[in-house]
Structure 1
Amino acid sequence: MARTVIDLDEDILARAQQLSGLRKKVDVVNFALRKLVEQKEIEAILGLKGKVDWEGDLEQMRKDRHGSC
């Protein structure tokens, strides 16, 4: 892990600690960063809706995955 000195809004940090149940500031910041990355990745994937051409047979793929039930 990298060590970084940053100025934080103490009020929002305290609220984030309260809402998350996390005690350590470093844990709250890491949690928030993970959530931000996760949210932005989801938004990017959702942004592809209607923009990707895909050909395939979902029913056949499902059968193949489950051993041709």
Structure 2
Amino acid sequence: MRTNIIIDENLIKEALKISGLKTKKEVVNLALKEFVENRKRKNLMDLKGRIEFDENYDYKKMREEK
């Protein structure tokens, strides 16, 4: 999708330097990807205390059964 936006030039320069990416497009895409991933992780954190885990759950044993 083509979009025209005004971005803080100092911020984009710093992001380019820190990331090692070559273009503004790459920086914006990475920033959006990381933003979405962080929000999804935050949403999972909202479930803390709402899910009961089986104390006898043994994922290693389940792998051996296959």
Distance 1:3 1:16 in 2: 21
TM-score, length-scaled by structure 1: 0.81
CA distance in 2, matches of 1:66, 1:9: 53
Residues 1-69 of structure 1 mapped to structure 2, 5 A cutoff: 2-55=1-54, 57-59=56-58, 61-67=59-65
Equivalences, count: 66
Gapped regions of structure 2 (runs ≥ 5): none
Give me the TM-score of the superposition, normalised by structure 2.
0.84
Q: CA deviation at 1:30?
A: 0.1
In structure 1, runs of 5+ residues without a counterpart are: none
RMSD of the TM alignment (CA)? 1.9
